[in-house]
Amino acid sequence: KAGVTQTPRYLIKTRGQQVTLSCSPISGHRSVSWYQQTPGQGLQFLFEYFSETQRNKGNFPGRFSGRQFSNSRSEMNVSTLELGDSALYLCASWPGGLGTSNEQFFGPGTRLTVL
């Protein structure tokens, strides 16, 4: 069974641009969560999607948005990039429903650098 995949693995953007990151969960997993990891703030929860609906959201500005498609693949978008958005963006997937496996697996991450 394939693991969680994220594309692209590396991105370099300039301030003011926007970026879209993609995450394909493990087959059969319906929940996809996104996290931002920085040396200063650690791992912070961005949002969770389940069956194409955003179920939960962390404390990030509206420039951070996402969506999930019917095949459970998810995209995350950051508009008007700021230097502070430079980070490793991780997505994680798990089945997502009560009574299912609780194991949550992460993708390799997308390292975003904003210049």
Partner 1 sequence: AQKITQTQPGMFVQEKEAVTLDCTYDTSDPSYGLFWYKQPSSGEMIFLIYQGSYDQQNATEGRYSLNFQKARKSANLVISASQLGDSAMYFCAMREGNTGGFKTIFGAGTRLFVKA
Positions in the binding site for partner 1 (CB under 8 A): 31, 33, 35, 42-43, 45, 48, 50, 55-56, 58, 88, 90, 92, 96-98, 102-109, 111
Closest distance between partner 1 and the C-beta of residue 13, in Å? 19
Strands (DSSP E) contained in 39-104 are 42-50, 53-57, 64-68, 74-78, 87-94
| Matching residue, tokens 């009574």 | 99
Smaller CB separation from partner 1, 58 or 79: 58
Smaller CB separation from partner 1, 79 or 108: 108
Distance CA 43, CA 46 (A): 9
Smaller CB separation from partner 1, 90 or 114: 90
Closest distance between partner 1 and the C-beta of residue 67, in Å? 16
Cite the DSSP H helix spans in the chain: none
CB distance 112 to 85 below 8 Å: yes
